[in-house]
Amino acid sequence: MAKVSHLIFDLDGTLVDTLKQLAHGFCAVARDLNIKEPSLSEASSYIGNGVTRALARTINGKFDTELSDVDSTLLKRARQLFNYHYAIGLYENAYVYDNVISSLKELKAMGIKLSVLTNKDHVFAVPLLKSLDLYPLFDFVLGSEVIETRKPNPEGIFYIIDKLKANKDETIMVGDSINDVEAAINANIRSIVFPFGYNNSRDVNTFNASYVCKDYKELLDLIKTLNK
Tell me the catalytic residues: 10
Distance (Å, whole) CA 58 – CA 44: 11
Q: How many residues does the chain have?
A: 228
Say if CB 180 and CB 174 are below 8 A apart. Answer: yes
Distance (Å, whole) CA 53 – CA 58: 9
Bridge partners of residue 157, in order along the sequence: none
Distance (Å, whole) CA 213 – CA 195: 8
Say if CB 166 and CB 160 are below 8 A apart. Answer: yes
**DSSP, residue by residue, 80-135:** HHHHHHHHHTTTSS-EEPTTHHHHHHHHHHTT-EEEEE-SS-HHHHHHHHHHTT-G
Say if CB 168 and CB 159 are below 8 A apart. Answer: no
